[in-house]
Structure 1
Amino acid sequence: MHNTNSGTVHGSLVQAASIDTVNITNLPPPPTALNGLPPVSGTFTGRLPELEELRAGRGLTLVHGLGGIGKTQLLLHYAHREKARFPGRSLNLNLHGYDARLHVEPTQALRSFLRALGTREEDIPPEESERSALFRSAMAEREDMLVLLDNASSAKQVKPLLVDRHRVLVSSRHRLTDLGGTRIPLGVLPLEEAVELVGDPELAELCGRLPLALKIMAAHIDLESATDWAAELRAEGLPLLDDGDTRQVAATFALSYRWLSPDQRRMFRLLSLHPGDEVVADTAAALSGLPSGKAKMLLRDLHRASLLEGGTRFHDLVRQYAALCLQEEPETERTAAEDRMIAHYRTTAAEHAKGIEIHRCTPEAVGWMDRHHRSVLEVATTAHERGLAEQVVGIADAMFRYFSLRKHMADWFTLQEMAVDSAARLVDRKSLAKVYNRLATIHRQQRRFAEAIRFCERSLAIQEEMDDPIGIGSALIVLAATYREMDRPDLALPCCERSLAIRRLVHDPRGLGISLSNVGLTHLDLGDADLAMEYFTEALELQRSTGQEGGVAITQHGIGRAHQACGRLDQAFEHYGASLRIQRHRDDRFGTAITLRSLGGAYAEAGRTAEAVETYQESLVLFEGSRDDHRADEVRDLISALTP
């Protein structure tokens, strides 16, 4: 068992998301249980024949119709109304079939469903056919369930997710004639039901009786009379066009768009540049170049016009229309808005990064990063594509601590790869060395040791060429940590000792604490607990005096291990507890898992088997959540050894 401290890396590996949020790893969010389904829109009306047809149906049913026709709301209304029929509850997933960026492949959907059904990550096979077979097997053992597959674009996207006996409902803009099952074509609302929403037959007809268009129009009725709105619609010309879906909806959006003030229109257009799901006032202000208060007011205006959902999110069709409207914006202004957004995210990320340091970690900073790291990564990608190398390097630097804490490994690796390319473009040797060191950290944590050593050596070569002692000390610590992970503390010790000597020489108190702790860990791995304790004691005193909260947690864990190695279990419990309190306060889930594993070993050694198993199980959950299969397997073996 090993605990490492590189001086720049420690944290947890967690992939968090929700059904309506997609990560760059392209893993869809887990499907929600029936009682977690979104509510039906307050504007849902009618659809009684379709609801009765759904109720009478069995097996697979496809609901198809144009975008904005109300397919999702119909399925949700049915799910809520008929939940008693499905004691096994439900699985619900938006397949994002018409969005190339968010498109969910069957293998991804199957993984989410299997995880929701309780399948362990390591038991999920890699191949789609094997996942599909396992999913069908898992579903065969359950009581009647409802499976909602929303927004499918092809039968290929759906077929691997189909199961016998259970109720499966699919929505799509296409008929999917090769899918099988029964079909419910969803057309525009009957006139009477459409009039319930907008209060005027002519206006309902001019809106095409399309639920999404009617919802938008209903938001405006209190601003102008229905007659005035009908006149506007006639002037805009909203025919039922032969090429249908997009242009009909776009024409409806066009009416709402043209009702906006010039400032509101400009904000609407520029928001389409934002890559994330949620746009907050500060980001809108950056895009538009307006004060935050003015931007917030414009967001409220767009929400009132039903052009933003929840005040911060675009409906996917509205986003597409906003992107079309963006062509009205001069290219110079589009570029300037994008520049402002990139600079805003770099600055804001750097500001929050100050709250995610080795010496302290604030919930506010971590919370902001949790909510916005996907947007930051998308913005960095845009900057990289445009050749804004300095911005990419700055964003990568700002996000390092967060990715080290949360260990979103794919996102972290993507960003650092872009940073390598950007630093090379800038001929910025110092930044390049730093990025190499961080890539080494990523490879080490993925147990790709040869790659980790290669990047360490590259970083070290540049640092030595530049005669940068602090950089040399950092690179040596990452190299030492890699050797310890390889169970080669004999190779790690010279690296640690050289780093320690350098940091004593340059009077780097933060780096010195890290090096002292790492020398202690290495001696502990070499079997000399007493010598390790000497280094830990000096490290702890220094880290406490300089406020290095994260370093204190790691050193306390090391001291606990040293006491345990010497048979002083009471002292080991004390120091493990001190380490855990800090790690949990920092929301350092990976560090918590490491310490829990050691604590479980101490309980087992003390003969407190039940407490050992419970502690190991808590550690296992955290390792599984962080996708650290190697350590998870180790803990499973420890649990198995204690349980009959």
Structure 2
Amino acid sequence: MPDRPGVHNVVNGDVTGTVVQAGEVVIARGRPAPRQLPASPARFVGRAGDLAGLADEPGVHAVVGSGGVGKTWLAVQWAHTHGHRFPDGQMFVDLRGFSPDRPMAPAAAVRGFLDALGAVDIPPDPHAQVALYRSLTADKRLLVVLDNAADAAQVESLLPGGSSCTVLVTSRRRLTSLNTRHGARHRILGVLGDAESHDLLRARLGSVRIASDPAAVQRIVKHCAGLPLALAIVASRVETSPEMSLARIADELGRLDDEDPANSFPAALSWSLRELTGPQARVLGLLATAPGPDIGLAAAAGLTGSVSELPALARLSLLETVADGRYRMHDLIRAEVRAEDVEATRRVTDHYLYTAHSADRHLQPYGAPAVLPPMSPDCRPEAPADLDAALAWFDAEHQCLLAAVDTAAEHEWHDVVWHLARTLTTYHHRRDHPDADIRTWRLALRARTPGPTLITSHRRLGEALTRALRDSEGLTHLREAIVLAEQSEDLYQLSHTHRALAWALGRQDEDADALNHAQENLRLSRELHDTTSEAHALNAVAWFTARLGDLDRARSFGEAALALRPNPEGEASGRETLAYVEDRAGRPDRSVEHYERALTLRRAHGYLRHIANTLDRMATPLRALGRDEEAEARSREARELFARLQE
């Protein structure tokens, strides 16, 4: 069924809708402008010429240079210094273009920016999301920092609309098509000069230490070849080893450096790594294998067995601390220190799986129980305490969870892939991430293991594609699930797939066909003595019967659904169906009664989108009763909740 006011998904117990009229762009009013920049680089020195000429006017500006040369530091330093020029906010995304993990998909970055801008009623189609992003930014004075881009194709859909925004792109490659198609100005960032390298070391180590052996300092500068990352690693090691003389450090760097500037970073890193303790080296190597762009403390403990070494590794500039106690590793360091350990990789993957399963039980407490693969020894999953904690965990770990699915697929841990896809489905639905759902279920489908898991993979992929408005593809997978379920005579799978097909066809206003599948879902639910599924099926039959105009029969089916005493989520959906029936039948007082009961249930469940949709739909019968002030209050609360969903 199309996602619009007055149309809800009774088939899956879900409600979807909008708060705006067609063609109207709405954003959350009163929310602060986005401020997404990372912290300003500590003790930034030099680059005066690069800073002065970086972005003197709006448009696209690309900073290009080798890995470790300081592109991100320069862009972030400039952004903080000139932040006053962008009253509508500063947005930042690390595109991870050269990370050992999968680079960020442009669609994921666009979606993140829409959330930051407070967009309400984000369309599921990626092209429509890009259009909305450009509409929202067309007249703004906004800074957009696109860090670590792999190529121009990763950048183009992230360029804002209009001509008043400034975009800073960093990359290791010259993005020539940005120049020809978008007039981008390129700044090639070279290594630091000797004077700037001295200044960086002085800022880190102090003038006294630098003055104690100028000749040794000059040799260190030479061996680091002007690479800020190499200088930072050496400086961090010197800071933590005050007993080491500068001359000894220069000598050791010289033995590792064969006069090739390209070896300056590996030499500095190798020298620093030699000084690590055994536990520090082990932890660093394992962290380099972690799926995702960063890692939290609990997952790090699951991967390495200990987090006590993390602060020391951060002090050595081998790790970077990011928000909320998480750690990130530069991809150059990751490539050098990565230590493959299949048992540790499986352990952290199981950490994500088992924690996601616990979190999902808060999001979907009435789902059927699942039997997970055996847990790895020494795996210590988290147990989110409640719904809010579960959502917060999913939000923080989402990119790592997607990377864990990739990792499990690479190792052909097909059962882990399937269960990760399953545990992410409800979260993806809540946060409106159909593309991520498509990605995980496609990976789950690769195994093509005959049986219920294969049927479920087709069904879930079909549902995700349908949510993304890729209706033809979605129906193909749903119908394949029907064929497989019929061939295997799996009535349970057949019942659920008919339910999914009813929902998918209803979104396309194919109400008669949808009703046929809902009726088949009802027949099979009764044959299986599955009262929960029967209640959902009765509700779906009621909905499509009402859509086709037979309100009396629709009311009978809806009341029969409630008589089965479904779970609170199912009752809320049933009440909303009856509210729709009564509203169409010209009984707004009865409609409001059902909506009020549904709203009470929705509030208890805590799913904000459901609450917002129920509030939004109540306004019509309230106005029909002349209760205009109450209708406006409900509509206003709905708008506020939709805005919160984008925070």
Q: Could you say whether these structures have the same fold, taking a TM-score greater than 0.5 normalized by the shorter chain as the test?
A: yes
Deviation (angstroms), 1:416: 1.6
Write out per-residue CA displacement over residues 17-62 of structure 1, whole angstroms, 9 at most, x where no aligned residue: xxxxxxxxxxxxxxx9685533313332455565566698998876
1:345 corresponds, among 348, 352, 369, to 352
1:198: which partner in 2?
205
Task: Give the distance between the partners of 2:140 and 2:259, measured in 1 at CA.
Answer: 46
- TM-score normalised to the size of structure 2? 0.74
Task: Give the distance between the partners of 2:400 and 2:602, measured in 1 at CA.
Answer: 27
Deviation (angstroms), 1:231: 1.8
Q: 1:403 to 1:165 in 2, by over 3 A?
A: closer
1:309 correspondence with 2:320? yes
CA contact (8 A) 1:240 1:248 kept: yes
2:37: which partner in 1?
37
2:442: which partner in 1?
417
2:583: which partner in 1?
564
Q: 1:242 to 1:623 in 2, by over 3 A?
A: farther
CA contact (8 A) 1:596 1:616 kept: yes
Gaps of 5+ in 2: 1-5, 19-31, 211-215, 368-385
Write out per-residue CA displacement over residues 316-358 of structure 1, whole angstroms, 9 at most, x where no aligned residue: 3xx33233223xx4xxx63333333333333332232222216
- Listed as ranges, the matches of 1:81-480 within 5 Å are 81-84=81-84, 98-99=98-99, 101-102=102-103, 150-151=147-148, 180=185, 187-188=192-193, 189-199=196-206, 200-201=209-210, 202-203=216-217, 206=220, 208=224, 210-221=227-238, 223-225=240-242, 227-228=244-245, 230-237=247-254, 244=261, 247-288=263-304, 290=305, 295-310=306-321, 312-316=326-330, 319-326=331-338, 329=339, 334-357=341-364, 359=366, 362-422=387-447, 424=448, 426-427=449-450, 429-480=451-502
Q: 1:571 to 1:301 in 2, by over 3 A?
A: farther
Write out per-residue CA displacement over residues 561-610 of structure 1, whole angstroms, 9 at most, x where no aligned residue: 12322333233234324434544665645544643553243345446678
CA contact (8 A) 1:34 1:83 kept: no
Q: 1:597 to 1:72 in 2, by over 3 A?
A: same
Q: 1:386 to 1:304 in 2, by over 3 A?
A: same
Q: 1:433 to 1:279 in 2, by over 3 A?
A: same
1:532 corresponds, among 554, 563, 566, to 554
Residue 481 of structure 1 aligns with an amino acid whose one-letter code is W
Deviation (angstroms), 1:197: 0.9
Deviates more, 1:468-477 or 1:618-627: 618-627
Gaps of 5+ in 1: 15-31, 628-644
Q: 1:110 to 1:490 in 2, by over 3 A?
A: closer
Identity between Structure 1 and Structure 2 (%): 25
CA contact (8 A) 2:93 2:109 kept: no
Deviates more, 1:96-105 or 1:410-419: 96-105
2:531: which partner in 1?
509
2:213: which partner in 1?
none
Task: Give the distance between the partners of 2:39 and 2:349, measured in 1 at CA.
Answer: 35
Deviation (angstroms), 1:228: 3.9
1:555: which partner in 2?
574
CA contact (8 A) 1:516 1:535 kept: yes
Write out per-residue CA displacement over residues 345-399 of structure 1, whole angstroms, 9 at most, x where no aligned residue: 3333223222221638822223322222332222222332333323222322332
Write out per-residue CA displacement over residues 92-119 of structure 1, whole angstroms, 9 at most, x where no aligned residue: 5556554584367799779959995989
**Secondary structure at 1:479 match in 2:** helix
CA contact (8 A) 1:10 1:590 kept: no
CA contact (8 A) 2:296 2:327 kept: no
Task: Give the distance between the partners of 1:447 and 1:167, measured in 2 at CA.
Answer: 32
CA contact (8 A) 1:106 1:157 kept: no
**Secondary structure at 1:396 match in 2:** helix
> What RMSD, in angstroms, separates the aligned Cα atoms of the two structures?
4.8
Number of aligned residue pairs: 586
Deviates more, 1:177-186 or 1:334-343: 177-186
Q: 1:513 to 1:296 in 2, by over 3 A?
A: farther
Task: Give the distance between the partners of 1:159 and 1:435, measured in 2 at CA.
Answer: 33
Deviates more, 1:410-419 or 1:85-94: 85-94
Task: Give the distance between the partners of 2:115 and 2:354, measured in 1 at CA.
Answer: 40
**Secondary structure at 2:347 match in 1:** helix
1:10: which partner in 2?
14
- TM-score normalised to the size of structure 1? 0.74
Deviation (angstroms), 1:308: 1.8
1:500: which partner in 2?
522
Write out per-residue CA displacement over residues 474-518 of structure 1, whole angstroms, 9 at most, x where no aligned residue: 222223323433434443444434433443444323223222322
Residue 227 of structure 1 aligns with an amino acid whose one-letter code is M
Task: Give the distance between the partners of 2:513 and 2:169, measured in 1 at CA.
Answer: 58
**Secondary structure at 1:313 match in 2:** strand
Task: Give the distance between the partners of 1:157 and 1:598, measured in 2 at CA.
Answer: 39
Task: Give the distance between the partners of 1:11 and 1:526, measured in 2 at CA.
Answer: 19
2:618: which partner in 1?
599
2:24: which partner in 1?
none
CA contact (8 A) 1:477 1:515 kept: yes
Q: 1:452 to 1:35 in 2, by over 3 A?
A: closer
Residue 102 of structure 1 aligns with an amino acid whose one-letter code is P
Deviates more, 1:64-73 or 1:343-352: 64-73
Q: 1:89 to 1:363 in 2, by over 3 A?
A: closer
